[in-house]
Structure 1
Amino acid sequence: MSKPLLFSWIAAITAVIGSLFFSEVMQFVPCTLCWYQRILMYPLAILLGLAFYRNDQVIYQYVLPFSILGMILSGYHYALQKIPFLQTFEMCKSGIPCSGEYINWLGFVTIPLLAFIAFTIITVNMLLLRKN
């Protein structure tokens, strides 16, 4: 059993369930950047689950591009929410604004930060898997 695979899979499953909870239960409509982050995260839940089941030690080759791109995208999304200057460059012009905050726990925890944390956990674990 590979702990990096297990921890990555748990992070991906938690992120998928969390995003579905926010949209389907809480009725939060995802913005454009949220959709892109979902596109990057949802396949990871399946890939990492299969990799954990098969103890696939080279899955990092396929997961790292998704998780690193997800970190960049969710980091930008979080900065867009928290740095007012960046809102002048906002790309979400129709529908839900990407700078909007459905949640703001403790004054800094937003949905993009939660996604960033999940992508970071996956990336770190995949780098550990690669090292071994």
Structure 2
Amino acid sequence: MNSARVRAFLPLFAWIVALTAMSGSLYYSEVRGFIPCTLCWYQRILMYPLVAIILVGILRRDEGLPLYVLPLSVLGMFVSTYHYLLQIGVLTETGTCKAGVPCTVKYVNYFGFVTIPFMALTAFYLISMAMAAYWFMRQQDV
């Protein structure tokens, strides 16, 4: 696969990841009945707009797409990393998670380490890497 084809695929890959993350989030809350904690809501606030932003960027063939996506996806990586570290006990819970559902609740725990914040972290990471690769490949073509 040549460089131009890979570069053209990266935004589509990022969009599929964002759409899957959003769909999974809605499935867990609306179908399974899991109540999102405060940090879950922050992650949703950062992920959900990415579905629309990336799709519009793809349709418009916007070369500057990483400039819109990376701030949200990198911030999402920080929030989900913090949330995951709270869940596994590396950090202690702060005032952010005191009201409502505790941020340490593990609704799912696949393979002993894959929780919802871990899945969000993976999605934000994949989106960030796809957009960074798209940006660097674009810079090399100039």
TM-score, structure 1 length as denominator?
0.95
Residue identity (%): 49
Checking the alignment, whether the CA contact within 8 Å between 2:46 and 2:76 is kept in structure 1 is yes
Structure with max Cα Rg: 2
Cα separation, 2, equivalents of 1:78 and 1:16: 18
SS of structure 2 residue aligned to 1:91: helix
The alpha carbon displacement at 1:87 in A equals 2.4
Which position in structure 2 is the counterpart of 1:119? Answer: 124
Quick check: 1:102 aligned with 2:107? yes
User: What whole-Å deviation, never above 9, does each CA across 1:51-110 have from its counterpart, x for those lacking one?
Assistant: 112221211101110000000000110010002x52243631111000110000110000
Quick check: 1:86 aligned with 2:79? no
Which position in structure 2 is the counterpart of 1:41? Answer: 47
From 13, 17, 21, the equivalent of 1:11 is: 17
Matches within 5 A, 1:18-97: 18-83=24-89, 85-89=90-94, 91-97=96-102
TM-score, structure 2 length as denominator?
0.88
Q: Give the AA of the match of 1:6.
A: L
Cα separation, 1, equivalents of 2:116 and 2:63: 30
SS of structure 1 residue aligned to 2:91: helix
Q: Which runs of 5+ in 1 are unaligned?
A: none
Compared CA separation, residues 87 and 40, structure 1 to 2 (3 A): same
Name the Cα RMSD after superposition.
Answer: 1.2
Compared CA separation, residues 97 and 7, structure 1 to 2 (3 A): same
Tell me the number of residue pairs that the alignment of Structure 1 and Structure 2 aligns.
131
Runs of 4+ in 1 over 6 A off after TM superposition: none
Q: Give the AA of the match of 1:115.
A: A
Q: Which runs of 5+ in 2 are unaligned?
A: none
